A = this chain, B = another copy of it.
Amino acid sequence: MTSTTEDHSAEPGQVSVAIVGTGLMGASAALASVRAGFRVVGWDLDVGRARRAADRGSFLAATSLEGAVEGADVVLIATPIPSIPELAARVLAVAPGSVVTDAGSVKADLVGAVERLAPSADLSRYVPGHPMGGSERSGPDHASASVIDGIVWVVTPTPESEVPMVERLERWIRGIGARPVRMDPARHDRLVAFVSHLPQVASTALMSLAATEEADEPEILLLAAGGFRDLTRLAASNPALWSDILLSNRAAIAEAIDLYVARLERLRADIAGERADEVAATFGQAKQARLRLAMKAQVRAGVAVLQVELPDRPGALAHLTSVLGEGDVNIEDLQIVHSPEGGRGTVHLTVAAEAAEGAGGVLSSGGFDPIRLA
């Protein structure tokens, strides 16, 4: 990352943003930009998709890529990973005043590809990134400014990225309501390999193994309780999307799988060797780490988590949710915490941070005893 003169960007109304690719994430960033007062132009290879997105958010849909990005201060490329390098090189060439970023979920491979395609003079304005949000739905019809609210948006400058460009990008990210976190591309890829890609591989491998066993043992999934369902939920994700992501980050993922297998084999040896104290120690450390994680804010910043014990009687959860509804508490997320063998009883409730105190009061008045975890 190289440092030159400081960039004095003006108010949002004087800053223009171009969104290339108006799927869920691109269109949501466009809507959040409109909300924050930026001038916004969108473009998509699929003209109808760009128009649908633009109609929802009252921004302009350009008819050509060049028309969209000309004069833009910030350009976000939010298209599928394979199309990003060529688009980035093209935009850098035709919009010489823009900082150009992208939303690809793996960075180092992508940066290498852009560096091979774009003249080195343009690379000072390329600042890759990764918004850590989304939804299981896709397309502009499900886009919303709220998809952006409070998410971590990783910004991964290269050694060529100029500081003012990085800062302009981060100002826009903060301006639309997300939380920029800066790190270099390789470190980003290594961290997501552990906390995003490895969980996906672990979940898919478990579901794949159970499916093979089920061919011989049709009753096996009758014995699968909440824990098995938690572990395999990710396995229902999009195969083509994940194949692209995993191959693009293959070195970091191979390392993460190796470390995971080593950890499994150590546990296996302790179990087979009847070393009860070792097994209990590993479980104890993991338990402490998981409890610390439960105390941390989620990826979405600006939220609070309340823990509520439910009395074990029919209708207890309905009572909780109706108390919250009558008290006008907006529930951001609600998780029933499962025991090792299923069952229920504890609810983790996520609400906006500024609503946490009010929610606590509503719950207490309704006969619950909430504990704020994060």
Contacts and interface: CB of A to CB of B under 8 A. Distances in A.
A5 interface: no
A214 interface: yes
A296 B54 CA distance: 41
Interface in A293-344: 293-294, 296, 298-300, 312-315, 317-319, 321-322, 324-326, 328-344
Interface in A228-260: 228-244, 246-247, 250-251, 253-254, 256-260
Interface residues on A, range: 35 or more
B341 A286 contact: no
Contacts of A232: 286, 290, 293
B322 A267 contact: no
Specify which of A200, A293, A332, A345 lies most central, judged by the most chain B CB atoms within 10 Å of its CB.
A293
A149 to B, nearest CB: 9
Given A232-B293, A250-B271, A290-B233, A325 B333 contact: no
26 contacts: A132-B223, A134-B343, A135-B339, A144-B313, A192-B223, A199-B206, A199-B230, A199-B231, A200-B227, A202-B206, A206-B263, A226-B298, A230-B234, A233-B290, A235-B287, A236-B294, A237-B287, A238-B340, A243-B276, A261-B268, A299-B342, A300-B342, A317-B332, A318-B329, A321-B331, A322-B326
